[in-house]
Amino acid sequence: MKYLVDISVEPIGTGSTSISSYVKAVYEVLKAKGVKFYPAPSMTTLELDNIEDLGKIIKEIDNKLTDMGVKRIVTIIKVDDRRDKENSIDHKLDVIKM
Amino acid sequence: MKYLVDISVEPIGTGSTSISSYVKAVYEVLKAKGVKFYPAPSMTTLELDNIEDLGKIIKEIDNKLTDMGVKRIVTIIKVDDRRDKENSIDHKLDVIKM
Amino acid sequence: MKYLVDISVEPIGTGSTSISSYVKAVYEVLKAKGVKFYPAPSMTTLELDNIEDLGKIIKEIDNKLTDMGVKRIVTIIKVDDRRDKENSIDHKLDVIKM
Amino acid sequence: MKYLVDISVEPIGTGSTSISSYVKAVYEVLKAKGVKFYPAPSMTTLELDNIEDLGKIIKEIDNKLTDMGVKRIVTIIKVDDRRDKENSIDHKLDVIKM
């Protein structure tokens, strides 16, 4: 069973309106951890086999941003836990195909 | 000045776990209104010249889903209002390019 | 028919991790507009008779924060549009009573 | 260091627009686990000493709702990770006091 988890990271108090370097940092953490993900302008979609990994992933992202000087990090997350049918990023990409 | 607005529509009480027909309905409303948008597994990103249009768009989407039999609609929205620099879907797509 | 709309405003690039002055500013805008609302640590719940007012409210909040020096404002919104039964802040407060 | 985590659970495909029984179920899981939380109409705020607990909490909530017959559960989460100052539900309640 897979969990689809959308995340969006908002650094607070950085003194700059640009957030692109932090977006890149998030991707680096996900790649280093071997998490399958799909980037989008709105949120990044993660495919997790085990939802218990979520907290650890958030912590590593926040640690990385803290290393970059961010002192407050707000993360928006949407967890889609579907129990009747296998869920996946590929399935969702099929749904949104126009 | 452009507003980037991410939306995700969750129909409540439909009796079915599938939401793909409602996602299609959202795209149809946006196309009919001539709103520029970018679909993704997580949320759909809209590019609005005027944020005052937001409520009307939500209302038309909800009306369409009501016509399809949905009786309660929860919509998650993220508004990105950047005042120091022109924002756009194209700019965000550049940022997430890997 | 009432719409329940939860909002949470995140100022980006302010140089300070404190957001309490912006929270107060949001309340001031809502009061000045005569919008019924319920504050909470997570999000502020608004009770709107007309969802078309949403964009104008966001715009006025963002204008106020811009006057305070904020150059990028991310607003998280959750719209609860229930069509089968009258919804209200009072009803929701009953539900969460423990 | 405390993490403030707001959660909102949306059951999908239940056949009923009422979600109050699921809200109660969420509170029961949190109480049984000894998690400090603050209910609100918008989202429930949790105070976590360890963000790594988040996934396990989501899993237990989803398991409980699955036992109640829900087959798809969407959870909206906002994590506030403030590293420069101790954060708490009590501090946030002070901020929103009007």
Task: Looking at D2-96, list the stretches that DSSP marks H as alpha helix, in order from N- to C-terminal side.
Answer: 20-33, 54-67, 89-96
Span C24-44, pLDDT tens digits: 999 999 999 999 999 999 999
What 3-state class would DSSP assign to C16? coil
Model confidence at B29, pLDDT cuts 50, 70, 90, reads very high
Model confidence at B85, pLDDT cuts 50, 70, 90, reads very high
ipTM (interface predicted TM): 0.97
D84 in contact with chain C, both atoms CB, cutoff 8 A: yes
pLDDT of residue A1: 78
**What gap in Å lies between CA D40 and CA D23, rounded to an integer?**
11
Running DSSP on this structure, what letter comes out for residue A51? Answer: G
pLDDT of residue D1: 78
Q: D38–C40: do the CB atoms touch at under 8 Å?
A: yes
Span A34-80, pLDDT tens digits: 999 999 999 999 999 999 999 999 999 999 999 999 999 999 999 99
Q: D16–B11: do the CB atoms touch at under 8 Å?
A: no
Span D2-56, pLDDT tens digits: 999 999 999 999 999 999 999 999 999 999 999 999 999 999 999 999 999 999 9
Containing structural domain, residue D91: 3-96
pLDDT of residue B1: 78
For chain B, how many structural domains are there in total? 1
Q: Which of D67, D72, D79, D85 to mutate to test binding with chain A, by most A CBs within 10 Å of its CB?
A: D79
Chain B environment of D43 (Cβ under 8 Å): none
Q: Which two tokens stand for residue C69?
A: 């020096």
Chain B environment of A44 (Cβ under 8 Å): 42
CATH value at residue A53:
3.30.70.930
Q: D59–A75: do the CB atoms touch at under 8 Å?
A: no
> Token match 């069509």: residue?
C83
Model confidence at C51, pLDDT cuts 50, 70, 90, reads very high
Residue D98, pLDDT above cutoff 80 = no
Q: Which residues contact D36 (CB under 8 A, 6 or more apart)?
A: D46, D47, D89
Phi, psi for C44 (deg, rounded to 5): -95, 130
Q: A72–C10: do the CB atoms touch at under 8 Å?
A: no
A75 in contact with chain B, both atoms CB, cutoff 8 A: no
Running DSSP on this structure, what letter comes out for residue D88? Answer: -
Element (H, E) at B92: helix B89-96
Span B4-19, pLDDT tens digits: 999 999 999 999 999 9
Q: What Å distances lie between residue D66 and A33, A53, D62, CA to CA?
A: 29, 20, 6
Q: What Å distances lie between residue C18 and C44, C47, D84, CA to CA?
A: 17, 27, 10
| Averaged pLDDT for residues B43-69 | 98
Picking from A52, A62, A83, the nearest residue to D56 by CB comes out as A52
